[in-house]
Structure 1
């Protein structure tokens, strides 16, 4: 059951990577993390979405909780808050 929930959450997060321009900035955040070796999960997606909505600290804190390296978290959240 836990494996199914994890797989579903991962699939949902990965679907954001292929989302259209409506989610361009959170997508850039997730792509940055993926390109830097992180296995994207739902918590990453939530954090990047917070950054896109203007909650930069929430983005950074969320990524820190997922053990994203500080410089990677800052850069990813910078991408999330950018205007497309």
Structure 2
């Protein structure tokens, strides 16, 4: 356990940051699942709407370092291709 005051504060900060990151990671995954489920259901309009709302959430999670930027770009590219292929 942390002994000095500075290390105790650092441990508190790390825990707060860990919880915030977990929340953002969970939210991004939820938005991804909404798009995937809409694609699986075959509803193109719903998939496009879900994708449109998911994009800013995914981009902000990449900007905050929750996910690597290339991973988010890959997900967005593949989802977009699947939505386009539904026509």
TM (norm. structure 2) is 0.38
Greater Rg over alpha carbons, structure? 2
Higher relative contact order (CA 8 A, sep 6+): 1
1 or 2, which has the higher helix percentage? 2
TM (norm. structure 1) is 0.39
